[in-house]
Chain A
Amino acid sequence: MASMKFYCDAERCIECNACVTACKNEHDIPWGVNRRRVVTIKDGEQGERSLSVACMHCADAPCAAVCPVDCFYTTGDGIVLHDKDICIGCGYCFYACPFGAPQFPESSAFSSRGKMDKCTFCAGGPEDDHSSEEYKKYGRNRVSEGKLPLCAEMCATKALLAGDADVLSDIYRKRVINRGASAFEWGVNQLKG
Chain B
Amino acid sequence: MVYFLQEYFFNCFTRSASIILLSLSLLLPQLSNAAIPQKHEDFPQGVSAINPGSELWREVRQRDSAVTGISQVKGVETGVLINSRGGQWARFRIENPVKYAPMVLGVVFLVLVLFYVLRGKVGIEGGLSGQMVKRFTEYECIVHWTLAIVFLFLAVTGLILLVGRPLLIPLFGKEIFSLIASASKEGHNLFGPIFLVSLLMMLFSFVKRNIYEKGDLAWLLKGGGFIGDGHVSGGFFNMGEKTWYWIVILIGLVISISGLVLVSPNFGQGRLVMEISHLVHVFGAIILTAISIGHMYMGSIGTEGSLEGMKSGYVDINWVEAHHDRWAKECHENEMVISAEEYARLQGSKPDTAMEKEA
Report if B110 contacts A (CB, 8 A): no
Q: Chain B residues with Cβ under 8 A from A68's Cβ?
A: 161-162, 164-165, 181
Report if A150 contacts B (CB, 8 A): no
Is the Cβ of B265 less than 8 Å from the Cβ of A111? yes
Are A111 and B175 CB-contacts (below 8 A) given A34-B73, A66-B93, A95-B90? no
Are A49 and B56 CB-contacts (below 8 A) given A65-B94, A86-B178? yes
Is the Cβ of B265 less than 8 Å from the Cβ of A39? no
Report if B177 contacts A (CB, 8 A): yes
Is the Cβ of B81 less than 8 Å from the Cβ of A51? yes
Report if B45 contacts A (CB, 8 A): yes
Are A53 and B81 CB-contacts (below 8 A) given A42-B69, A69-B164? yes
Q: Chain A residues with Cβ under 8 A from B181's Cβ?
A: 68-69, 88
The contact string, 1 if C-beta is below 8 Å from chain A, for chain B 157-192, is 000011011000100001101100110011001100
CB contacts under 8 Å to B, within A41-64, are: 41-43, 47, 49, 51, 53, 62
Are A10 and B263 CB-contacts (below 8 A) given A34-B75, A62-B87, A68-B181? no
The contact string, 1 if C-beta is below 8 Å from chain B, for chain A 73-113, is 00000000001011111111011111110001001111111
The contact string, 1 if C-beta is below 8 Å from chain A, for chain B 44-71, is 0101110111001000100000010111
Is the Cβ of A96 less than 8 Å from the Cβ of B174? no
Report if B349 contacts A (CB, 8 A): no
With both beta carbons as reference points, the residue of chain A lying nearest to B275 in the complex is identified as A95
Looking at the assembled complex, report how far the CB atom of B36 sits from the nearest CB atom of chain A, in whole angstroms: 15
With both beta carbons as reference points, the residue of chain B lying nearest to A109 in the complex is identified as B264
Is the Cβ of B161 less than 8 Å from the Cβ of A90? yes
Report how far A82 CA is from B65 CA in the complex, Å. Answer: 32
Report if A40 contacts B (CB, 8 A): yes
| Partner pick for A110 among B79, B90, B189, CB 8 A cutoff | B189
Report how far A180 CA is from B165 CA in the complex, Å. Answer: 49
Report how far A183 CA is from B48 CA in the complex, Å. Answer: 10
With both beta carbons as reference points, the residue of chain B lying nearest to A113 in the complex is identified as B265
Is the Cβ of A41 less than 8 Å from the Cβ of B93? no
Is the Cβ of A17 less than 8 Å from the Cβ of B72? yes
Looking at the assembled complex, report how far the CB atom of B100 sits from the nearest CB atom of chain A, in whole angstroms: 16
Is the Cβ of B93 less than 8 Å from the Cβ of A108? no
Q: Name which of A137-145, A166-174, A184-192 contacts chain B.
A: A184-192
The contact string, 1 if C-beta is below 8 Å from chain A, for chain B 66-107, is 010111110111111111101101110110000000000000
Is the Cβ of B73 less than 8 Å from the Cβ of A95? no
Report how far A87 CA is from B262 CA in the complex, Å. Answer: 18
Are A98 and B265 CB-contacts (below 8 A) given A43-B70, A110-B189? no
Which secondary structure characterizes the binding site on chain A? Answer: loop
| Partner pick for B69 among A11, A41, A89, A92, CB 8 A cutoff | A41
Are A86 and B174 CB-contacts (below 8 A) given A92-B90, A100-B77? yes
With both beta carbons as reference points, the residue of chain A lying nearest to B59 in the complex is identified as A41
Is the Cβ of B263 less than 8 Å from the Cβ of A183? no
With both beta carbons as reference points, the residue of chain A lying nearest to B184 in the complex is identified as A88
Report how far A10 CA is from B55 CA in the complex, Å. Answer: 13
Q: Chain B residues with Cβ under 8 A from A14's Cβ?
A: none
A69, A99, A191: most-surrounded residue (chain B CB, <10 A): A69
Is the Cβ of B71 less than 8 Å from the Cβ of A39? yes
Is the Cβ of B53 less than 8 Å from the Cβ of A111? no
Which range contains the number of B residues in contact with the other chain? 35 or more
Q: Chain B residues with Cβ under 8 A from A10's Cβ?
A: 53
Q: Chain A residues with Cβ under 8 A from B139's Cβ?
A: none
Report how far A109 CA is from B261 CA in the complex, Å. Answer: 10
Q: Chain A residues with Cβ under 8 A from B274's Cβ?
A: 91, 95
Report how far A188 CA is from B82 CA in the complex, Å. Answer: 34
Report if B3 contacts A (CB, 8 A): no
Report how far A100 CA is from B78 CA in the complex, Å. Answer: 7
Is the Cβ of B47 less than 8 Å from the Cβ of A191? yes
| Partner pick for B47 among A66, A91, A184, CB 8 A cutoff | A184
Is the Cβ of A180 less than 8 Å from the Cβ of B49? yes
Report how far A104 CA is from B75 CA in the complex, Å. Answer: 11
Looking at the assembled complex, report how far the CB atom of A143 sits from the nearest CB atom of chain B, in whole angstroms: 24
With both beta carbons as reference points, the residue of chain A lying nearest to B52 in the complex is identified as A47
Q: Chain A residues with Cβ under 8 A from B45's Cβ?
A: 191
Report how far A49 CA is from B72 CA in the complex, Å. Answer: 14
The contact string, 1 if C-beta is below 8 Å from chain A, for chain B 301-315, is 000000000000000
Report how far A107 CA is from B74 CA in the complex, Å. Answer: 13
Report how far A86 CA is from B172 CA in the complex, Å. Answer: 13
Looking at the assembled complex, report how far the CB atom of A69 sits from the nearest CB atom of chain B, in whole angstroms: 5
Is the Cβ of B174 less than 8 Å from the Cβ of A98? no
With both beta carbons as reference points, the residue of chain B lying nearest to A17 in the complex is identified as B72
| Partner pick for A108 among B72, B83, B262, B266, CB 8 A cutoff | B266
Report how far A190 CA is from B64 CA in the complex, Å. Answer: 34
Report how far A39 CA is from B186 CA in the complex, Å. Answer: 34
Are A95 and B67 CB-contacts (below 8 A) given A66-B93, A69-B178? no
Q: What would 11 A/B residue contacts be, using CB atoms closer than 8 Å?
A: A37-B71, A38-B71, A40-B71, A42-B67, A47-B56, A53-B81, A88-B182, A95-B271, A104-B265, A107-B266, A109-B263
Top 5 nearest A-B pairs (CB, nearest first) are A37-B73, A66-B90, A96-B90, A41-B69, A86-B178
